[in-house]
Amino acid sequence: MARSVEPLVVGRVIGDVLDIFTPAAELTVHYSTKQVHNGCDIKPSSAADKPHVMVDPDAPTPSEPRLREWLHWIVVDIPEGHDATKGREMVPYMGPQPPTGIHRYILVLFKQERATEGGCQLPDARANFSTRQFAAQNSLGLPVAAVYFNSQKEPAVKKR
């Protein structure tokens, strides 16, 4: 079955954050019992803990006016066909914390050509993170899979 980047184009992930690529793996992401599908809505409270991220082992080898990328998690050396928790966490997970409006959260999978051994070149800060720049600095090439969801600030519970 051919994998499509069309939902990523429609959601402006391709263009804003990633260059066009040919998907070569199936990326399955769950927050508790909710599976992430491109463009779905997930409450910040539902995504507060690390997601369960799986790469399909049968897969071939692998709305703001100004874009601001924010780094939420980096895991490297994930064994093929395993959950991301089996890899090495380089930047700890931080769940969505959208201040106002609807924000996109994108999980991108790159195929490493070799283990990182000492790690990878990490960004200085989470704010103003560039996925393209990170991939270039670490010789990752184009992604092999990506999925995104939307999240917005939850209404506060009013105390009386």
Distance CA 60, CA 134 (A): 24
Is 157 part of a structural domain of the chain?
Answer: no
Q: Give backbone dihedrals phi and psi of 136, rounded to 5 degrees, phi first.
A: -65, -45
- The dihedral region occupied by 45, where left means phi > 0, alpha psi between -120 and 50, and beta the remainder, is alpha
Is residue 149 packed enough to be buried (19+ CB in 10 Å), middle (13-18) or exposed (0-12)?
buried
Query: 94: part of which helix (H) or strand (E)?
Result: none
Q: Give backbone dihedrals phi and psi of 10, rounded to 5 degrees, phi first.
A: -60, -40
CATH number at residue 99: 3.90.280.10
Is 139 part of a structural domain of the chain?
Answer: yes
Is 19 part of a structural domain of the chain?
Answer: yes
Is 160 part of a structural domain of the chain?
Answer: no
Residues of the chain with pLDDT below 70 are 1-3, 56-69, 81-82, 115-119, 157-160
Q: Are residues 131 and 88 in contact, defined by beta-carbon separation less than 8 angstroms? A: no
Distance CA 147, CA 2 (A): 16
Other C-beta atoms closer than 10 Å to the C-beta of 142 total 16
pLDDT number for residue 158: 65
Is 73 part of a structural domain of the chain?
Answer: yes
Which one-letter amino acid corresponds to residue 44? Answer: P
pLDDT, tens only, 45-80: 999 999 998 876 554 433 333 345 677 898 888 877
Is 117 part of a structural domain of the chain?
Answer: yes
Is 60 part of a structural domain of the chain?
Answer: yes
Task: Indicate the number of domains in the chain.
Answer: 1
Is 133 part of a structural domain of the chain?
Answer: yes
pTM to 2 decimal places: 0.84
The structure tokens listed for 12 are 């402006």
pLDDT number for residue 30: 94
Could you list the residue range(s) of the whole structural domain that residue 148 is in? 6-152
Q: Chain-centre distance of CA 25, in angstroms? A: 14
Distance CA 58, CA 97 (A): 34
